[in-house]
Amino acid sequence: MFNPGEKVVCINADFSMYPNIWDVFKQLPKQDEIYTVRERQYVQGMGYRILLEEIHNPPVYVDLVKGMVEPAFAATRFARLSDPLAIKETTAVEEEIAV
């Protein structure tokens, strides 16, 4: 799992399955961009989420925690910058889909 300060690359910036995404997020990661992990969180039933140094979104009310929190991104949308195999596999799958 990612640690604060670690460099990651976005390998999945497809948010099209969330039509109301802009109601929650004001900024989203971009495909193949490099980011720095600001914070790591574990959310029961959702897995690991991360906040990024380069992206800051305003807090939203989350019923699960009964309070305001900054929305985080699923860690599965990112790969370690030092893990070229994960980056290559994702790129290959995307190229296959595009054909």
Q: Is residue 51 part of a domain?
A: yes
Q: Is position 2 within any domain?
A: no
Q: Quick check: is 25 in a domain?
A: yes
Residue 36 has pLDDT above 50, yes or no: yes
Q: What is the pTM of this model?
A: 0.79
- Tell me the DSSP string of 16-35: TT-TTGGGT-S----TT-EE
CB atoms within 10 A of CB 9: 20
pLDDT tens for each residue of 44-72: 888 999 999 999 999 999 887 789 999 99
Q: Is residue 85 part of a domain?
A: yes
Total of domains in the chain:
1
* Residue 86 falls inside a structural domain: yes
Domain, as residue range, for 23 = 7-98
